[in-house]
């Protein structure tokens, strides 16, 4: 781990996926390795946090099977403080909005 708590090995694997789109055998091996790591405790979370801005690679590695586990990273509305509620609309915003069926 580096000083920011990022796994150096996983970061290197992801970097290789970014830098080598024309090496299918290397990509396949890296994807297999990452999916194996994802089965370890904290493996999926560690990998997905590093791929949060690299959606194409996230999709290539995990595909549709990542959707359900990824929703666990979203905050639950019931856990938010009242001032953090995502659904609060102030009067100015309400006046500027348009009604949808």
The sign one gets for the Cα dihedral 83, 86, 88, 92 is: positive
DSSP letters for 83-98: GG-TT---HHHHHH--
- Whole-angstrom CA distances from 59 to 1, 52, 64, 84 are 24, 11, 7, 30
0.75 cut: is pTM over it? no
**Separation between Cα atoms, residue 81 and residue 56, nearest integer Å:** 33
The whole-number pLDDT of residue 39 equals 87
Q: List the chain domain ranges.
A: 8-75
* pLDDT in single tens digits along all 101 residues of the chain: 666 656 788 888 989 988 888 888 989 999 999 989 888 888 888 888 888 788 888 888 888 776 666 666 666 656 666 555 555 666 676 666 665 65
């Amino acid at each position: 781990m580096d000083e920011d708590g990022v796994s150096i090995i996983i970061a290197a694997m992801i970097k290789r996926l970014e830098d080598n789109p024309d090496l299918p055998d290397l990509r396949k091996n890296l994807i297999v390795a990452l999916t194996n790591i994802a089965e370890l405790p904290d493996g999926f979370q560690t990998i997905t946090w590093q791929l949060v801005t690299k959606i194409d690679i996230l999709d290539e590695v995990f595909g549709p099977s990542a959707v359900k586990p990824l929703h666990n990273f979203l905050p639950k509305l019931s856990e938010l403080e009242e001032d953090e509620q995502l659904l609060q609309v102030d009067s100015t915003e309400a006046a500027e909005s348009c009604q949808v069926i």
